[in-house]
Chains A and B, each alone.
Chain A
């Protein structure tokens, strides 16, 4: 499944590059969109290699928990 996601990412990125060439999109648009594709590809590779600890929400919950204790409501 990870291979499928990475392949889909690369193919869709290539399709987007073709679209931008045809439309002659400005540099800012290209940079933003290609950056997002790169981030998505990076996350896909990290998922495939199990580099991400599957607990991304923990820091957020801890932060809100501390705010909760600060206000004395938790």
Chain B
């Protein structure tokens, strides 16, 4: 996998649910200053990237499972891998699958049972992963430009209805909402940079990996800042926190000259592209990680049963989407522990182990 492919894959992954749900969450926390936490979060992310590059060096081309066993020992390493796989990629996969079902059931295919939507998307995911993850990475070179062009189209469309006075007064409620927003932005989607450690065996070298992490961070950051800022300018600060799919609603308000309308379909197309890559990356990591955990040579045998098991799980993960608001309040604890604290512990443990061995 080249640096460009990893950049595009990570950018598409970060955009995943963030394009639809992040502006609403950030505006709910930070009000009209919601652009500031995203900028700050992006800057902090740049400071954290060296940790993951250092772990890349320590991994030395090994898989995540091999690295954890080497660093923490066989039992602790496998336990850590099992916990990480369940609480991060597999959980994100199930929640994202459910979000996909909720969105399509509410807005697009109202009469279609959500499990039919899950079955269709899972069929596509399993087929693509059977062809190999490298094929998925190569496909990003086609879909990323399409998603980016559509996103730019959406952003330009929103400028027409923008009211700059919606930003004023700036930092009216002080710094605390901005800090809260920054913590939540770092938790979702930025902390998911840790998932890229599972792709280390596919990367050529450290420089390519570092370049990919940096570029994907600023591409996602800038686009999310612009999207959030434009939503504030178009809708203000009181409406977005009460809407689950605020980007789509903002797009619905676009009407230029009586002929340029219905740009919410652009949001839907973008979202299907990015949600596909979010699902495929987390599903691949969950399947590949499980194969490592159980000592299987190939992960392809696990794809179908995991996909079949995920349908009832996605259908029962919550009874209605209002649970997302409760989850957003505490999600940062889960991801900060597994995606920031744990990598720091792994890095430190590996360094100490090497020091003990050399002395």
Chain A interface (Cβ within 8 Å of chain B)?
1-2, 4-5, 8-9, 12, 16, 28-29, 32-33, 36-37, 39-41, 43-44, 46-47, 52-58, 61, 64-65, 67-68, 74
Contact = CB atoms under 8 A, between A and B. Distances in A.
A56 B301 contact: no
Contacts of B108: none
B317 interface: yes
B317 A36 contact: no
A39 B294 contact: no
Chief secondary structure at chain B's binding surface: helix
A68 B302 contact: no
B107 interface: no
Given A36-B309, A43-B309, A54-B319, A74 B302 contact: no
What is the interface residue range for chain B against chain A?
A: 20 to 34
A29 B301 contact: yes
A4 B313 CA distance: 16
Contacts of B330: 61, 64-65, 67-68, 74
B323 A32 contact: no
Interface string B303-330: 0111011011101111100010011011
Nearest to B95: A57
Contact of A32 (B296, B309, B317): B296
B331 interface: yes
A53 B316 contact: yes
A40 B307 CA distance: 8
27 contacts: A2-B115, A5-B311, A5-B312, A12-B305, A12-B308, A28-B294, A28-B296, A33-B301, A33-B305, A36-B305, A36-B306, A36-B309, A39-B305, A39-B309, A40-B305, A40-B308, A41-B308, A44-B311, A44-B312, A54-B315, A55-B316, A55-B323, A56-B318, A64-B333, A65-B330, A68-B333, A74-B330
B135 interface: no
Nearest to B183: A73
Contacts, number: 96
B239 interface: no
Contacts of A61: 323, 326-327, 330
Contacts of B309: 36, 39-40, 43
A58 B324 CA distance: 11
Question: Which secondary structure characterizes the binding site on chain A?
Answer: helix
A29 B296 contact: yes
A48 to B, nearest CB: 9
B152 to A, nearest CB: 35
Contacts of A46: 312
A37 B305 contact: yes
B48 interface: no
A57 B318 contact: yes
B116 A52 contact: no
Given A55-B319, A64-B333, A16 B115 contact: no
B238 interface: no
B295 interface: yes
Interface in B325-341: 326-327, 329-331, 333-334
Contact of A8 (B294, B308, B312, B329): B308
